[in-house]
Chain A
Amino acid sequence: MAIPFSYNFRNLRVRKTTTVMTALGIALTVAVLLGIMAMVVGLNVALQATGHPLQMIVVRKNSNSELGSQVAREALLSIKYKDGIQKFPNGEPMVSGEIVRVINLPRKNNPEGANVNIRGLSQLGIEMRPGIRLAEGNWFEPGQREIVVGQSIALRYVNAALGDTLRFGRGDWKIVGVLDAGKTAFDNEIWGELNQIASDFNQNETLSSVLVRATDPIALEALKNSMADDQRLYLDAKSEVEYYSQLTSSADPVKFLGVFVAIIMAIGSSFAAMNTMYAAVVRRAREIGTLRVLGFSRGSILLSFVVESLLLSLLGGLFGVLLVIPLNGLKSGIGNFGTTFSEIGFDFRITPFIVLVGIAFATIMGIFGGLLPARTAAKQDILNALREL
């Protein structure tokens, strides 16, 4: 049997100031990493869950997003009669021409405002998005200046709740409903009737995009190809799922920076742990010698100091997790500078997986920090150790 944990625990308690300081360093490191991960996971949930696997978004060739794209209204007709398109029970093809524009709205915690997507679409477009339902209110009526806002918009923007009035385009719009898009990207959009939006933004000749649902995955590929090959239409098609998950790449610089900072901090924290453990080895030299005389092997000394370093770092990891837990569910947004000009709202998500990663990260720091000092302790000659004061 090895040297008991209680021995390590109590040694950590005896030098509590050093222990707390070192653990705090580790805690901050873990918190930075987990904060970033919570953001990435939240963003992924918001974006990757968006889209139907059999649907594609058709935009003008070389447009990366719906915003920069213009598709002639006539093209809609050619698309409608292509093969492999799924049909509604009434025989109508599942093809929805849509307009997407961006407006600036004042945010509750940012009066300068942020960009929000306005989507003009018809009843078809709504029916092609089965994950979406109304959380409150009703759908907009054709011919009325009525809109429906995503949940995230209602929550984070000024005067954006049910019954409020928003001013954009040529005048006021009444909010008659709130969308529940299941935390997908549509929770960050405002929807209105296609023709109303088109005339308000003076966009009567063109659409921004066309949403198309194929009958099966093979037809989806075929449709995408035929769309891209049609020189006359000059269009590109992307699968809807792909389109939204690609938007997450706008968070890449933040991700990279966060991970970079976390790694630098981890190296620092490992050295801090190492320093603490070296000091412990020096201070306890005579104890180590005594344990050896009592019959404990070099191996159990090594293990004991690694365990102590691990306990120290796990304590730090635990602090770190506690530090980030309040972030869970916290709503935030990130600008999509790369592909669209609108903001994507998301919730920070501290999942059990993230907690595990934090603990694992702390464990790695503990092992790195503890291994060398533990080796020094174990390699020590018994007599030299006993001679220390």
Chain B
Amino acid sequence: MENNLVIETVDLHKEYKRDEFQVIALQNANLQIHKGEFVALMGPSGSGKSTLLYLIAAIDRPSQGRVRVLGQDLQQLSDKEIAHWRNEHVGFVFQTFNLIPVLTARENVELPLLLTNLSKKERIEHAETALKLVALSDRMTHYPRQLSGGQEQRVAIARAIVTDPALILADEPTGDLDAHSAQEVLTILTKLNQEHGKTVVMVTHDPHAARYASKIRYLEKGELLPEGSPPPA
């Protein structure tokens, strides 16, 4: 059971100092997510969902507490090691897609592979495979501005999975999408979870989106509510 743990946070605490004020974004979060789970993080705005996700992705460092992801204690890694680690193990999907506007769909997807030892030919193959998985084989040479929001987000997902990471983190991936595109994106995430065995953690406001997850965890005012709690009012 222990080796099945993909994410484990222990008394995770994060506060931001803003001017004189201290904002407690997350307090004493103890979260355990197992391999193959698809977890939705929900809660009101400002409840600390993104903060938690960033700490798991080691994009931010905790004020206190520990994060262990895929057997790695993140606080033990230097900035440089973390960059490398994230490239290899974590795929991150943003609400705003964040594709590089001057690169084509395929080049965007190829980007993370530039940090690997793959040859140019292999990189292109991998990128094309990833784009095929999100059903965008016919859009490889398109630039982001030539794509719809839904297509952009699917390219972003292809970019997140191209290095074949075990963990996919998504911060409101459907937040900027219409219902139809949102459904496509959720279907892809579900497929990645069920057919490819990826562990998925998705922050969302949308109860409809959360239904795709195998488990929902709620946050409120920086606190992670116990498993099985009803949604906060």
Option from A4, A287, A383 in Cβ contact (under 8 Å) with B114: A4
Tell me the complex Cα distance, A383–B107, Å: 24
* A155 interfacial contact with B, CB 8 Å: no
A266-303: which have CB < 8 Å to B? 286-287, 289-299
- B60: A residues at CB distance < 8 A: 382-383
Asked whether, in the complex, the Cβ of A1 is within 8 Å of the Cβ of B59, the reply is no
Let me know if B147 is at the binding interface, CB within 8 A. Answer: no
Residue pair B59, A294 in contact (C-beta under 8 Å): no
Given A10-B102, A10-B103, A287-B100: A295 touches B59 (CB 8 Å cut-off): no
Cβ of A11 under 8 Å from chain B? yes
B83 touches A292 (CB 8 A): yes
Kindly state the separation between the CA atoms of A294 and B35 in the bound complex, as whole angstroms: 22
Cβ of B92: which chain A residues have Cβ within 8 Å of it? Answer: 293-294
Q: What A residues does B111 contact at CB under 8 A?
A: 291, 294
Q: Which single member of B59, B79, B101 contacts A383 (CB below 8 Å)?
A: B59
A6 to B107, CA, bound (A): 10
Assess the A293–B57 pair: CB atoms within 8 A. yes
Nearest B-chain residue to A298, judged by Cβ: B79
Please indicate the chain B residues that have their CB under 8 angstroms from the CB of A3 in the complex. 114
Closest CB of chain B to A327's CB: distance in Å? 37
Distance of A292 Cα from B87 Cα, bound (Å): 9
Which residues of chain A are within 8 angstroms of B112 by Cβ–Cβ distance? Answer: 294-295
Max count, chain A CB within 10 A of own CB: residue among B60, B84, B87, B115? B115
> Main SS of chain B's interface residues?
helix
The answer, yes or no, to whether B132 is at the interface (CB within 8 Å) is: no
- Docked-complex contact B115 and A7, CB < 8 angstroms: no
Asked whether, in the complex, the Cβ of A295 is within 8 Å of the Cβ of B83, the reply is yes
**Interface status of B54 (Cβ within 8 A of chain A):** yes
**Does residue B80 face the partner (Cβ distance < 8 Å to A)?**
yes
Instruction: Say if the beta carbon of B159 comes within 8 Å of chain A.
Output: yes
Question: CB-CB < 8 A to A158: which residues of B?
Answer: none
- Measured between alpha carbons, how far is A7 from B79 in the docked complex, in Å? 24
- Is A325 an interface position by the 8 A CB rule? no
Q: A166 contacts the other chain (Cβ, under 8 Å)? A: no
Whether the pair B103, A7 counts as a contact (CB closer than 8 A) is: yes
Interface residue? A219 (CB, 8 A): no
B94 close to chain A: CB less than 8 A: yes
Chain B nearest CB, measured from A194 CB (Å): 75
Decide if B103 touches A386 in the complex (CB within 8 Å): no
A225 to B98, CA, bound (A): 81
Cα distance, A356 to B59, chains bound together (Å): 44
Residue of A14, A291, A293, A298 contacting most chain B CB atoms (<10 Å): A293
- Which residues B96-152 have CB closer than 8 A to chain A? 96, 98, 100-103, 107, 111-112, 114-115
Closest beta carbon of chain A to B10's beta carbon, Å: 22
B215 within 8 Å of A by Cβ? no
In the complex with contacts A4-B114, A383-B60, A386-B94, A293-B102 CB distance below 8 A: no
B114 touches A1 (CB 8 A): yes
B102, A7: Cβ atoms under 8 Å?
Answer: yes
Q: Please measure, in the bound complex, the distance between the C-alpha atom of A122 and the C-alpha atom of B160, giving whole angstroms.
A: 89
1/0 contact trace for B3-35 toward A, CB 8 Å? 000000000000000000000000000000000
- Chain A residues numbered 1-57 whose CB sits less than 8 Å from any CB in chain B: 1-4, 6-7, 10-11, 13-14
Asked if B86 CB lies within 8 Å of chain A CBs, one says yes
Question: Closest chain A residue to B171 by CB distance?
Answer: A386
With A and B bound together, what is the CA distance between A13 and B103 in angstroms? 12
B146 to chain A minimum Cβ distance, whole angstroms, is: 14
CB within 8 Å of A: which B42-95 residues: 54, 57, 59-60, 79-80, 83-84, 86-88, 92, 94
Most buried by B among A6, A287, A299: A287
**Contact status B115-A287, CB under 8 Å:** no
**Given A383-B54, A386-B94, 11 further pairs, Cβ under 8 A:** A3-B114, A7-B102, A286-B98, A287-B98, A287-B100, A290-B94, A293-B57, A293-B92, A294-B86, A294-B112, A295-B83
Give 10 A-B contacts (CB < 8 Å), ordered by A residue. A4-B114, A7-B103, A10-B103, A11-B102, A14-B102, A286-B96, A290-B94, A294-B92, A299-B80, A382-B59
Closest 6 CB pairs of A and B: A295-B87, A10-B102, A290-B98, A1-B114, A294-B112, A297-B83
